[in-house]
Amino acid sequence: MLVAVLSVTALLALLTGGAVLLSRGAVETASVGDETLRAQALLRSGVELAGHQLFVLRVDPATLNGQQLRLDTGTVTIFAASEAGRVDLNGADAVLLAAAYRASGLSTLSPTDFAERVVDRRGGGGGTSFRLVADLGEVPGVSSGDVAALAPFLTVYNPAGRIDPMFAPIALLQALPGVPEGIGPSLTDARGRGGLDRLFHLRAIFRGLESYLVLGEALRVFRVRVEAQGAAGGRVTRVEAVLIASVVSDRPFQITDWRALP
């Protein structure tokens, strides 16, 4: 109980601090009418608030989707997803890469050919690793449209290579070899359980596929999208960032891969 109260208090303090900073930013920029700076302050505060909930309060990322917070200079809306449910372009084996291609619904290449070309690009045959999912466009036979279709299933922030069925899209899990059709209801039921009961049910669903899955403690890497709108309405600005657990910093998380969205 005490821990919960302290966590909520910390979040309220962060909200208050963010509001003060935003108010100060609004005053400083009002004289020059710099709406861009106010929007950036809102976006940054939204990402920080999401990070606090994910890494300090350790909430389920799904519970953040659509969360809306009103601050002095506007409103931010938060969406979050774990990268542990995506296939890593650098760390995953050919079976998972082929499953990602199959899940995307693409048919220009065979799933096996796609997996082989990714493996060749990242190391074999003098290839180089992927820095971004967008680097897939450099793989022969993969168009920009293909990259967009594959993006929901891929990442470069899950280096262990295996995927967590708690967070992976059902289409991706369904594309794994040996997984029967119609696992949706049983998977939803397993995800709603806790502790050893959840682990037992997940193992029953994916028996024989343990080498491709993480069953237990999840990777603490999250993709966060924040939408911001000023207090007076107007244009909505968006940003996407990846948050990872800090290794050497005293902060609970670090922000990387910050990208403005249209």
pLDDT tens for the 262 residues of the chain, in order: 333 333 444 454 444 444 443 444 444 444 435 788 889 999 999 999 999 999 999 999 999 999 999 988 899 999 999 999 999 999 999 999 999 999 999 999 999 999 999 999 987 545 568 999 999 999 999 999 999 999 999 999 998 899 999 999 999 999 999 998 899 999 999 999 888 999 999 999 999 998 999 987 767 999 999 999 988 777 899 999 999 998 877 899 999 889 999 9
> How far is Cα 244 from Cα 222, in angstroms, rounded to an integer?
7
Strands 87-88 and 154-155: parallel
44 and 147 assigned to the same domain = no
Whether 161 contacts 154, CB under 8 Å = no
Task: State the total domains in the chain.
Answer: 2
Strand-pair partners of 225: 79, 240
User: What pLDDT is recorded for position 164?
Assistant: 94
Whether 223 contacts 80, CB under 8 Å = yes
233 and 156 assigned to the same domain = no
The CATH number covering residue 59 comes to: 3.30.1300
> How far is Cα 112 from Cα 223, in angstroms, rounded to an integer?
28
> How far is Cα 149 from Cα 169, in angstroms, rounded to an integer?
13
100 and 66 assigned to the same domain = no
User: What pLDDT is recorded for position 234?
Assistant: 79
- Residue after which a domain boundary falls, among 189, 212, 235: 212
109 and 176 assigned to the same domain = yes
Alpha helices in the chain (DSSP H): 2-30, 35-51, 94-104, 111-122, 144-150, 170-174, 184-191, 195-205
193 and 94 assigned to the same domain = yes
> How far is Cα 243 from Cα 225, in angstroms, rounded to an integer?
11
123 and 203 assigned to the same domain = yes
For residue 80, give both structure tokens. Answer: 């979050």
User: What pLDDT is recorded for position 128?
Assistant: 63
Whether 232 contacts 255, CB under 8 Å = no
> 191 by DSSP, 3-state: which?
helix
Whether 258 contacts 241, CB under 8 Å = yes
Q: Is the pTM of this model over 0.75?
A: yes
141 and 126 assigned to the same domain = yes
User: What pLDDT is recorded for position 124?
Assistant: 54
197 and 92 assigned to the same domain = yes
> How far is Cα 237 from Cα 228, in angstroms, rounded to an integer?
5
Whether 260 contacts 239, CB under 8 Å = yes
Whether 220 contacts 85, CB under 8 Å = no
The CA–CA distances, whole Å, from 208 to 8, 14, 37, 173, 212 equal 41, 45, 52, 13, 9
What's the domain range around 33? 2-83+219-261
62 and 141 assigned to the same domain = no
User: What pLDDT is recorded for position 105?
Assistant: 97
114 and 197 assigned to the same domain = yes
39 and 19 assigned to the same domain = yes
For residue 111, give both structure tokens. Answer: 């799933």
User: What pLDDT is recorded for position 31?
Assistant: 40
For residue 51, give both structure tokens. Answer: 């990070």
31 and 123 assigned to the same domain = no
